[in-house]
Amino acid sequence: MYRQIRSFLELIRFSHTVFALPFALTGAVLAWKRAGFQWVQLVGILLCMVFARSAAMAFNRLTDRRFDAANPRTAGRHLPAGRLAPVAVWLFTLVCTVGFVASTLLYMWADPPNPWPFYLSVPVLAFVGAYSFTKRFTALSHFWLGASLMLAPVAAWIAIRGGDAWTTLPTPLLLGGAVLFWVAGFDILYACQDVDFDRKARLRSVPAAIGVRASLKTALACHVVMLALLAALYWAAQPDLGWIYLAGLAAVTALLAYEHWIVRPDDLSRVNQAFFQINGVISIGLFVVVLVQLAVGA
């Protein structure tokens, strides 16, 4: 039983929840600053994030298992290696899907009750799941992935603010837009590892379309846009954000600069360090900075 649970957690890269969850919580704490904190909303966010991401990742592994088996870099993953059966992963995906939709009902116990998370649950999950097919027809799949993670802070905002969320969307949209370009940028970096395979398998990606060198420049441009949106968030969220947030933004800028410095066209050996370590620090660090900023109020 322990090995099975561990295999499923490895399948969906559960530890990578660190990329989206902190941004969902960042959107949440900004919303709670005005609407007031409720425990049921926090529990709802945590459950929805875990179930939605788990369902999407498992579905992605199922749809991509033929390509994963043919790619030397991914041939050792659980489905192509036979460590998990497809029927078991389909069942896991179904359970997580039902768990996500059921978790949105928690917001009906909020004060006041908020039905919007339930209304939007299926469209959101459909959009996120559709990412798994995008590399078959567009090189902009990286931006679809970014848009999927963009939904995390926007959905958290809607879940907390309820009826007035639609009149206060600039703040979560700026944060969500930053997530979109952040994810698209580092996913382009990550895809540089598979440029030859993608071309051979006729899969669409930015590196396969324009080459590694131009892709690194595209990723850098994405991260410049991300920083610009985070700077705009400072003005949109006034008076809640101050010098602590700006100091955190400077640190994020330095981390992104280091990320692009260590990944070079002739040396992709440190892509995993950039992808897993630096981006994890960025997402958690920005959340902590915003949390401290709102607590201190400086």
Q: What residues form DSSP beta bridges with 264?
A: 267
* Contact between residue 192 and residue 216 where contact means Cβ atoms under 8 Å apart: yes
Whether 140 shows a pLDDT value over 80: the answer reads yes
Is residue 297 classed as helix, strand or coil in its secondary structure?
Answer: coil
* Whether the Cβ atoms of residue 71 and residue 185 lie closer than 8 Å to each other: no
Whether 52 shows a pLDDT value over 70: the answer reads: yes
- 107, with CB counted inside 10 A (0-12, 13-18, 19+), is buried
Q: Give the chain's length.
A: 298
12: confidence class by pLDDT, cuts 50, 70, 90 = confident
Q: Which residues contact 173 (CB under 8 A, 6 or more apart)?
A: 154
Longest CA–CA span in the chain (Å) reads 56
Residue 88 predicted with pLDDT over 70 = yes
- d(Cα 52, Cα 286) in Å, to the nearest integer? 22
Confidence at 244, pLDDT banded by 50, 70, 90: very high
DSSP states of 228-271? HHHHHHHHHTTTS--HHHHHHHHHHHHHHHHHHHH-BTTB-TTH
Which residue type sits at 176?
Answer: G
Confidence of residue 279 (pLDDT cuts 50, 70, 90): confident
Q: Is residue 38's pLDDT more than 90? A: yes
| pLDDT 10s digits, 146-188 | 999 999 999 999 999 987 877 788 899 999 999 999 999 999 9
In whole angstroms, give the CA distance from residue 224 to residue 252: 11
Judge whether residue 13 has pLDDT over 80.
no
The share of the chain scoring above pLDDT 70, in percent, equals 98
Query: What is the spatial distance between Cα 142 and Cα 46, in angstroms, rounded to a whole number?
Result: 25
Range of the domain at 184: 2-296
Q: How deeply is 143 buried, as exposed, middle or buried, from its count of CB atoms within 10 A (0-12, 13-18, 19+)?
A: buried
| Distance from the Cα of residue 250 to its chain's centroid | 22
As a whole number, mean pLDDT of residues 273-289 equals 87
Instruction: Residue 232: name the closest of 175, 160, 285 by CA.
Output: 175
pTM above 0.85, yes or no: yes
The mean pLDDT value for 128-152 works out to 96
Torsion angle, alpha carbons of 78, 16, 55, 25, to 10? 170
Per-residue confidence (pLDDT) for residue 242, from 0 to 100? 94
Measure Cα distances from 185 to 80, 127, 181, 227 in Å. Answer: 28, 20, 6, 12
* Whole-number pLDDT of residue 298: 59
Q: What is the pLDDT of residue 125?
A: 96
Q: How far apart are CA 106 and CA 86, in angstroms?
A: 31
Domain with residue 167: its CATH number is 1.10.357.140
Average pLDDT across the chain, whole number: 92
Does position 1 have pLDDT exceeding 70, yes or no? no
- Counting residues of the chain whose pLDDT is more than 90, the rounded percentage is 79
Which pair of tokens denotes residue 96? 């997580």
Q: pLDDT value at position 8? A: 78
CA-to-CA dists, residue 275 to 226, 270, 289, angstroms: 16, 9, 21
Residue 223 has pLDDT above 90, yes or no: yes
Question: Of 167, 140, 165, whose CA–CA distance to 153 is shortest?
Answer: 165
Average pLDDT over residues 203-217: 96
Give per-residue pLDDT as tens, 246-264. 999 999 999 999 999 988 8
Residue 2: pLDDT over 70: no
Domain count, the chain: 1
**Distance from C-alpha of 225 to C-alpha of 19, rounded to nearest angstrom:** 18
Q: What is the pLDDT of residues 100-118, one digit of tens each?
A: 999 999 999 999 999 999 9
CA–CA dist 7, 87 (Å, integer)? 14
Q: What residues does 267 pair with on adjacent strands?
A: 264
Whether residue 255 contacts residue 229, with contact meaning beta carbons closer than 8 Å, is answered with no
**Is the backbone peptide bond immediately before 170 cis, with ω within 30 degrees of 0?**
no
- Res 34 pLDDT > 90: no
